[in-house]
Structure 1
Amino acid sequence: MLDDTDRRLLRYYQDDPTLTPGELAERARVTHATCARRLERLREAGVIRATRAVINWRALGYEVEVSLRITLDKTNPRAFDEFTAAARDVPEVVEIQSFLGRVDVRLSVIARDMAQYQQIYRSAILTLPHIADIEALMHVARIKSDEALPL
């Protein structure tokens, strides 16, 4: 699906998405028109999903991150859909992942401090529907967080 030119464009683009089309074309050693055409094709194919800002939550005062591993009550066939719909409405839930196995869902929750986390946990998390079991893991350090692909 991808040729060497596509990979080169993606490698430079994911390294610095603020590059102008001209700068990206120059680094990838293609013409401006080729660069624009290929980027559009990669967007249409869903390879490039978005260009976004990555916010450092700690710089904004969020000092607590907790990973909640949740097992749902599987006696209700709508449990997963109802749970995830409700979890999406909790602003402090910054990530929702689903799994196969003992754990059904993992939520990543941020808070400014432990007092705020406790308030969020009691008022927003524990009230989510269909929770059968919940395990909290306090985030200590992010060792690697890289969405860049080895192109």
Structure 2
Amino acid sequence: MQITDADRRILRQMMAEPGLSVADLAERAGVTAATCWRRIERLREAGVLRGEHAVINWHALGWEVEVSLRFTLDKTDPRAFDEFTVAAREVPEVIEIQSFLGSTDMRLQIIARDMAHYQQIYRKRILTLPHIAELDALMLVSTIKSSAELAL
């Protein structure tokens, strides 16, 4: 798909302020509302826009602990990755699952209400995940940058 300058302006405005109405978005991007709507639909159909979602501030809801767990899996079983992933998806406090090439095979991002809650999750749900060879935990202290925005 060929991305035009108008598409770039629309995408920049959507990233800057995701809740804008089509009319406001069109005005800021310098196109008519009808053109803006058609371009947004075209971007969705082409897979450039994958959807709109709420970004929740978990800390504001009382989830104070965030931990990144890095796993090396026992790869002697060819089903290790699939079985680990299926089991990790069942843990409600896992908010992100990533797979990697390198010394770390998988990473889980966990949230918990407090340290006691995290210890409960860790002991009852994380340590029971299948095919764990090694596990490393990183406690989040602060987020310096969190953005999916790139210059368009």
Report the TM range for the smaller structure's normalisation. Answer: over 0.9
Aligned-pair CA distance for 1:149: 2.0
AA paired with 1:30? V
1:60-97 CA distances to partner (integer Å, 9 max, x unpaired)? Answer: 11111111000001001111011011101101001111
Q: How does 1:100-111 map to 2 (within 5 A)?
A: 100-111=101-112
Number of aligned residue pairs: give it: 151
Partner of 2:78: helix, strand, or coil?
Answer: coil
Aligned counterparts of 1:40 and 1:17: Cα–Cα separation in 2: 16
**Structure 2: distance between partners of 1:78 and 1:139:** 31
How big is the alpha-carbon RMSD for the aligned residues of Structure 1 and Structure 2? 0.8
Superposition map of 1:130-141 within 5 A = 130-141=131-142
1:51 CA displacement: 1.1
Residue 50 (structure 1) shift: 1.3
TM-score, scaled relative to structure 2: 0.96
- Code of the residue aligned with 2:30 in structure 1: it is R
Q: Shift of residue 118 of structure 1?
A: 0.5
Q: CA deviation at 1:30?
A: 0.8
The answer for the alignment partner of 1:70 in structure 2 is 71
Alignment of 1:1-151 (within 5 A): 1-151=2-152
- Amino acid in structure 2 at the alignment position of 1:91: P
Runs of 4+ in structure 1 deviating by more than 2 angstroms, as ranges, are: none
State the distance in 1 between where 2:147 and 2:43 align.
21
- In structure 2, the gaps of 5 or more residues are none
* TM-score (norm. length: structure 1): 0.97
Q: Distance in 2 between matches of 1:61 and 1:20?
A: 31
For 1:103 and 1:62, the matched residues in 2 are separated by 26
